[in-house]
DNA sequence: CTGAAAGCGCTTACAG
DNA sequence: CTGAAAGCGCTTACAG
C-alpha cells in the first residue's frame, strides 16, 4: 500500500479520492466519475480506477460527498417504538425498498414522546435528509414548523389524512375501530368495553370508531372505557381486565386497542376461571403472531404493517426523484380476523 | 428573515454559519465557537449569536462539520434482527446512553446475513463513525478486515470472547445452554431434546452447552437435536414439536433455543392434548414477556438485554474518549427462571 | 470521454 | 476572548 500523498496537517489519514486518482493516473474528478457514474467513462479507465480503489482500500467520504453535492442520500425514519412489533415490520418494509439504493436510513425511536420527536428530528435535519418518513398524522407545532422550514419531502405512515393535503400511507384507524365494534355488536354483545393503553393518536382514533358504533346502537357508556397512558403490555392487559370488571361487572365483551392487552386480559381470565368467549368475549388489534396460536385464538384486526413501510418508502422515493405520483393518500385497508376469543 | 448573503452558484439555499455570524456581527469562527463551546465565549457575544441562530432558523450542516473536524459523531450499530425483542431491548439500552451526547445512531439490520452485514458495514464506514457496536463475536473475514483497516473502536454484544482480546459485553451463551440442560437433568429428565432455529452463533453455542451437559450424563443422542435454519417463530415451534415427537417419541423434555419456539411448542401440545410439563417438559430462552403469563408459565433463561446495550454503549463511549477501561470483557450473567412448564 | 478550477459549510491551528 | 486564513474530501459546472 503506497502512500502517495503524505497525510499532513488536518488530513484524516485515510485514503482519498486524489490518491486513488493519482495511482490510476487520472484526474480526481475522473476518478469520481468512474466510481459514481461508471457508464460515463471508458472501460479501460474505469478498470484502472477500480483497481486503484481495491489496492488502496479506498472508502469514499460521505460527508465530503454530501457537502459537495448538497445531497445526503440520507432518509430519516421516525417511529414511536421499536419494542412494538408493528413498527419493526414497518421498518422491514422500508428497508426492502431503500436498501437497494445506497440510501442511508436514520432510524429514530421517539418513544411516543413529542419532545423526543422534536429532538430527533432536529438532529436528523442537520444531516439534510433527502426525505423523511413519519409515524402518525399529528405532530407538535415545533415539528410541523421544522418540517415546513426544511422543505424536505415527508410521507406519514399508519393512518390517513383527513384533508388530502399531506402524503400518507396507511389505513383508517377510525374505521378499523368502528368495524371491530360493529362485529361485536352484530354478535349480540351489548356491554362492550374498550381497553386503551399508551393513548397515542392511533389508539384514540380506534376509540373514536368504537364510540361511534356504540352511539349508533344507543349503547355508549363512558364507564365502559378503561384508558391509561402506560405502554401497552401483556402485564397491563392483565391488570386492566381486573379494572374493567370492577368498574363494569356486567361487561360482556372487551375491545382491546392492542393484541398485547388482549393477550394479558385472556391470561388473566384463565387465572380467574372466566371462560373466553363464553363469559366474556375479548378481541385485540394488529394480529401479532401469538394471536393465531393462543388458546383461545384471538379475534383481532390484521394490519398491513410491512406494506405500509414498503409503500411509504416507495412513495417517498418517487417524491425525492420528483416523479409525479398518482395520489397523496394510499389506503392499504385492514382485515378483521374472526377467531375463537370473540 | 433577511438573506444576508445571496445564495448563488452551488449553494444549498440554506442558512449558513456565515450568515448567522454576519447578523450577529462576528466572525464565522466565533459564531462556530459560540455554538459548539459556548463557555469559551463572552456572554454578550453568545447571546447575540444565539439570537441570530433563532431568528434565521439556522440548522448546522453536519456534513460540513464532519468534514472539517474529521469527527462524525456517528455511532454505527449492527443487529441481526429488529423483529426479535431481544435486540430491540439492546437498542433501547444503547439509546439511553448515547442519545444524551448528540451522537447520531446508525441502526443496521443485518437479518442474520453475512452479506448484509458486509454491505451495511461498508456503507456505514463511509460515514467514518466514531465507534461501532456489533452483535456476536464471529464475523466474515471481509468484515474483520474492514474493521481492522478502519481502526475504529468496536464493542461486541451478546456473548463473550474466548480470547480476552476484543471488547465484549454479554454473557456466556454456552454456559447458559449448559445451565438450562443441567436443570432439566437434575429434575430427572433423561431424553432431553434440543430445538434450534436460525442457527446463528448464539443458538449454536447454547446447543454446545446442551451437548456438554448431556455428554457428562452419558445421555447424548444426536436424534434428540432438531435444528433448522429458518427464523425462530411461534409457528415454527409448533411445527418442530411435531417433528421432535416423530423422531424421538420418548422425549421427556425439550430445551428450545428461544422463547418463541417454546411458546409454539406449548401451543401445539395443547392442541394435541399433551400436558406440559407432566407428559413433556418444555423450556425456552430469553424470557420474553409472554413467558411469565402463559398457561403454563414458561421456564426459561432471563437475559440482560437492556443492560448489554447500556454497558456496551458506555464502554464504547469510554473507548472513543480514550479513557482507560478496567476490562475488555463485561460478563452480565443470566438467570434461570424456573416456572411451570419445566 | 477527460480535466483544471472553484466551491460546498464548517473547524482547526495559529495569532493577537 | 476574538479573528483571518487555510483546508477537510469530495462534486459541480464549464471547457475542450
* Confidence grade of residue A163 (pLDDT, cut at 50, 70, 90): confident
Show the cell assigned to A168: 400518507
How far B276 CA lies from chain A's nearest CA (Å)?
14
Average pLDDT over residues A310-328: 94
Name the average pLDDT for chain A: 93
Q: Are residues B233 and B150 in the same domain?
A: no
Q: Tell me the C-alpha distance between A288 and A278, whole Å.
A: 23
Protein CA at B141 to nucleotide C1' at C4, angstroms: 41
Last residue within a domain, chosen from B60, B90, B111: B60
A280-293 average pLDDT score: 97
Pick the more confident residue, A165 or A238.
Answer: A238
pLDDT over threshold 50, residue B243 = yes
B188: left (phi over 0), alpha (psi -120 to 50) or beta: left
Q: Which of A60, A89, A113 is the last residue of a domain?
A: A60
Nearest-Cα residue of chain A relative to residue B261: A290
The per-residue pLDDT for A12 is: 73
- pLDDT score, position A10: 65
Q: Give residues 56-95 of chain B lying near strand C (Cβ < 7 A).
A: 58, 60-61, 64-65, 67-69, 71
- Domain co-membership, A233 together with A185: yes
Looking at residue A214, what is its pLDDT? 98
Q: Identify the CATH number of the domain in which residue A270 sits.
A: 3.40.50.2300
pLDDT at residue number A60: 94
CB contact under 8 A, B14 and A57: no
Residue B7, in any domain of the structure: no
Residue of B13, B54, B126, B284 best to disrupt the A interface, most CBs of A under 10 A? B126
- Show residues of chain A in contact with B90, CB under 8 Å: none
Residue A127 lies in a domain: yes
Cβ within 8 Å, pair A126-B66: no
In sequence order, what are the residues at sequence separation of 6 or more whose Cβ sits closer than 8 angstroms to the Cβ of residue B104? A106, A123, A124, A127, B62, B72, B73, B74, B75
Q: Tell me, yes or no, whether B340 lies in a domain.
A: no
| Rounded Cα distance, B53 and A141, in Å | 19
Residue B209 confidence class, pLDDT cut points 50, 70, 90: very high
Calculate the angstrom distance between C1' of D8 and CA of B75: 20
Residues A187 and A291 in one domain: yes
- Identify the domain boundary among A36, A60, A84: A60
B132 inside domain: yes
What residues contact residue A266 under an 8 Å CB cut-off, 6+ apart?
A237, A276, A282, A294, A296, A298, A341
Can you read off the three cell numbers belonging to residue A147? 418540517
Residue A270 resides in a domain: yes
B5 domain-assigned: no
> Do both B214 and B283 map to the same domain?
yes
Q: Where are the alpha helices (DSSP H) in B99-166?
A: 114-125, 141-150
**In angstroms, rounded to a whole number, what is the distance separating the alpha carbons of residues B7 and A338?**
60
pLDDT value of position B1:
32
Nearest residue, CB atoms, B63 vs list A66, A82, A260? A66
Domain count, chain B: 3
Residue A141 to residue B176: CA distance in whole angstroms = 49
- Of the listed ranges A102-106, A133-137, B217-221, B246-250, the least confidently predicted one is A102-106
pLDDT tens digits, one per residue of B36-78: 888 888 888 889 999 999 999 999 999 999 999 999 999 999 9
The answer, yes or no, to whether residue A6 has pLDDT greater than 80, is no
**A62/B62 CB distance under 8 A:** no
Task: Report pLDDT for A296.
Answer: 94
**Same domain (yes/no): B178, B294:** yes
Q: Look up cell 430445551; give the residue.
A: B255
Please report the pLDDT score of residue A3 as a whole number: 34
Query: Residue A43, CB, less than 7 Å from strand C?
Result: no
Q: Measured between alpha carbons, how far is residue B236 from residues A289, B196, B252, B268, B331 in Å?
A: 11, 10, 20, 10, 31
Q: What is the pLDDT of residues B87-117, one digit of tens each?
A: 999 999 999 999 878 789 999 999 999 999 9
**Residue to test with chain B: of A293, A305, A340, most B Cβ within 10 A:** A293
Q: Are both A43 and A144 inside the same structural domain?
A: no
Task: Note whether residue A1 is domain-resident.
Answer: no
Whether any strand C atom is under 7 angstroms from the Cβ of A40: the reply reads yes
> Minimal Cα–Cα distance from B1 to chain A, Å?
12
B127/A234 CB distance under 8 A: no
Q: Do A123 and B107 touch (CB under 8 A)?
A: no
| pLDDT at site A175 | 97
Q: Domain holding B39: CATH number?
A: 1.10.260
Q: Per residue in A7-60, pLDDT tens?
A: 345 667 789 999 999 999 999 989 999 998 888 888 888 899 999 999 999 999
Is A12 part of any domain? no
B91 with B141, same domain: the answer is: yes
Nucleotide nearest to B61 (CA to C1'): C9
Strand partners, B226: B195
* pLDDT score, position B257: 97
Identify the residue whose cell numbers are 435454519.
B229
Chain-wide mean pLDDT for chain B?
93
Contact call for residues B192 and B223 (beta carbons, < 8 A)? no
Instruction: Tell me, yes or no, whether A78 and A141 share the same domain.
Output: yes
Residues A108, A81 contacting (CB under 8 angstroms): no
Contact A46, A58 (CB under 8 A): no
Instruction: Find and give the residue nearest to D5, measured CA to C1'.
Output: B29
Lowest mean pLDDT, pick from A326-330, B174-178, B331-335: A326-330
- What is the pLDDT at residue B155? 97
A180, A195: one domain = yes
* B221 shares a domain with B137: no
B223 and B247 Cβ atoms separated by less than 8 Å? yes
- Residue B2 has a pLDDT of 32
Q: Strand B329-331 and strand B167-170: pairing?
A: parallel
- Give strand letter and number of the nucleotide nearest B7 (CA to C1'): C8
Mean pLDDT lowest among A159-168, A297-306, B177-186, B300-309:
A159-168
What pLDDT band is residue A203 in, cutting at 50, 70 and 90? very high
**pLDDT tens by residue, B292-308:** 999 999 999 999 999 99
Report which of A187, A192, A242, A197 is spatially closest to residue A220, judged by C-alpha positions.
Answer: A192
In terms of DSSP bridges, do strands A154-157 and B225-227 run parallel, antiparallel, or are they unpaired?
Answer: unpaired
**CA dist., res. A69 & res. A340, Å (int):** 58
Domain co-membership, A221 together with A289? yes
Mean pLDDT of A214-223: 96
Q: Which domain holds residue A34?
A: 17-60
Query: How high is the pLDDT of residue B10?
Result: 65
Residue whose C-alpha is closest to residue A308's, from A25, A110, A104, A92: A92
Q: Are residues B292 and B196 in the same domain?
A: yes
Angle between helices A259-272 and A234-247 (to 10 degrees): 60
What average pLDDT does the segment B5-12 reach?
Answer: 50
**Nucleotides of strand C under 7 angstroms from a protein beta carbon:** 1-5, 7-13
- A169 vs B29, which has greater pLDDT? A169
Amino acid at each position: 500500500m503506497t502512500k502517495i500523498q503524505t497525510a499532513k496537517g488536518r488530513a484524516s489519514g485515510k485514503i482519498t479520492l486524489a490518491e486513488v486518482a493519482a495511482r490510476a493516473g487520472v484526474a480526481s474528478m475522473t476518478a469520481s466519475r468512474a466510481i459514481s457514474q461508471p457508464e460515463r467513462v471508458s472501460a479501460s479507465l474505469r478498470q484502472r480506477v477500480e483497481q486503484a480503489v481495491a489496492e488502496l482500500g479506498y472508502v469514499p467520504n460521505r460527508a465530503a460527498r454530501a457537502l459537495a453535492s448538497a445531497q445526503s442520500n440520507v432518509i430519516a425514519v421516525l417511529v414511536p417504538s421499536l419494542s412494538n412489533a408493528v413498527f419493526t415490520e414497518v421498518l422491514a418494509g422500508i428497508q426492502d425498498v431503500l436498501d437497494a439504493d445506497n440510501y442511508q436510513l436514520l432510524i429514530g425511536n421517539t418513544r411516543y414522546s413529542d419532545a423526543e420527536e422534536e429532538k430527533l428530528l432536529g438532529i436528523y435535519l442537520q444531516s439534510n435528509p433527502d426525505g423523511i418518513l413519519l409515524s402518525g398524522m399529528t405532530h407538535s407545532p415545533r415539528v410541523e414548523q421544522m418540517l415546513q422550514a426544511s422543505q424536505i419531502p415527508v410521507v406519514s405512515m399508519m393512518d390517513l389524512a383527513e384533508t388530502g393535503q399531506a402524503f400518507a400511507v396507511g389505513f383508517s384507524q377510525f374505521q378499523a375501530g368502528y368495524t371491530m365494534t360493529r362485529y361485536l355488536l352484530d354478535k349480540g354483545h351489548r356491554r362492550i368495553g374498550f381497553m386503551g393503553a399508551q393513548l397515542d393518536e392511533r389508539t384514540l382514533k380506534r376509540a373514536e370508531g368504537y364510540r361511534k358504533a356504540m352511539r349508533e346502537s344507543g349503547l355508549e357508556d363512558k364507564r365502559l372505557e378503561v384508558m391509561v397512558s402506560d405502554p401497552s403490555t401483556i402485564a397491563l392487559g392483565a391488570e386492566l381486565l381486573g379494572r374493567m370488571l370492577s368498574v363494569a361487572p356486567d361487561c360482556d365483551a372487551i375491545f382491546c386497542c392492542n393484541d398485547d392487552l388482549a393477550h394479558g386480559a385472556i391470561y388473566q381470565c384463565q387465572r380467574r376461571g372466566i371462560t373466553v368467549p363464553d363469559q366474556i368475549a375479548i378481541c385485540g388489534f394488529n394480529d401479532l403472531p401469538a394471536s393465531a396460536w393462543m388458546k383461545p385464538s384471538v379475534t383481532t384486526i390484521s394490519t398491513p404493517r410491512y406494506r405500509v413501510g414498503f409503500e411509504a418508502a416507495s412513495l417517498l422515493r418517487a417524491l425525492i426523484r420528483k416523479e409525479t405520483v398518482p395520489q397523496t393518500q394510499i389506503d392499504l385497508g385492514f382485515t378483521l380476523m374472526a377467531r375463537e376469543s370473540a
